[in-house]
Amino acid sequence: MQFGRSYEEFEVGAIYRHWPGKTVTEYDDHLFSLLTMNHHPLHLDAHYAKGATDFGKNVVVGPYVYSLLLGMSVEDVSALAIANLETENLKHVAPTFHGDTIYGETTVVEKRESASKSDRGIVTVDTRGYNQNGALVCEFRRKVLAAKESYLDAHGGRTPSHSHKSAASPGTGRDQKL
């Protein structure tokens, strides 16, 4: 199984379907809401949501859905990236509810060489999230600073375990990872 892609491995038009999906629980929604200090009753108070909203039930907080899709895409898009540069055009197209299962896919829309460093390039991708019924719930575009093969070769390869140098620990004579 491949974990991440170098700049050279991205092809404009390629579609990566992220698997597995994630069923969103009430716990997930409440924890994310509370960790991010979003105390809006639409996300936390079932009685409020039932009587005071058009949905009649709690709606999952949007940044959680975005974060979930971003995380799903790491294996296919940014696991070997040097940096995430930009997120734009984030849209919550439809609500997500407790019990919905989110699936994601990403399309490569553009790639270009870095203007300042020859060992990297910028890849632009569109990520979309769908619920279990196939309804689009969230979409966004992002730009990733992707490492070229030359960058990966110079920095120890594709896996973190190959990028550590060994040196003697002060006073012990034993090797330690730096």
108-164: per-residue pLDDT in tens? 999 999 999 999 999 999 999 999 999 999 999 999 999 999 999 998 877 554 344
Q: Domain map of the chain by residue range?
A: 14-24+60-155
Whose tokens are 């105390």? That residue is 39
Relative orientation angle of helices 26-35 and 62-73, to the nearest 10 degrees: 100
Q: In this structure, are residues 41 and 119 in contact, taking their beta carbons and an 8 Å threshold?
A: no
**pTM listed for this prediction:** 0.85
CB count within 10 Å of CB 24 equals: 21
64-109: per-residue pLDDT in tens? 999 999 999 999 999 999 999 999 999 999 999 999 999 999 999 9
- Tell me the DSSP string of 137-154: EEEEEEEEEEEPHHHHHH
Domain 14-24+60-155 has CATH 3.10.129.10: yes
Mean pLDDT value across residues 55-66: 96
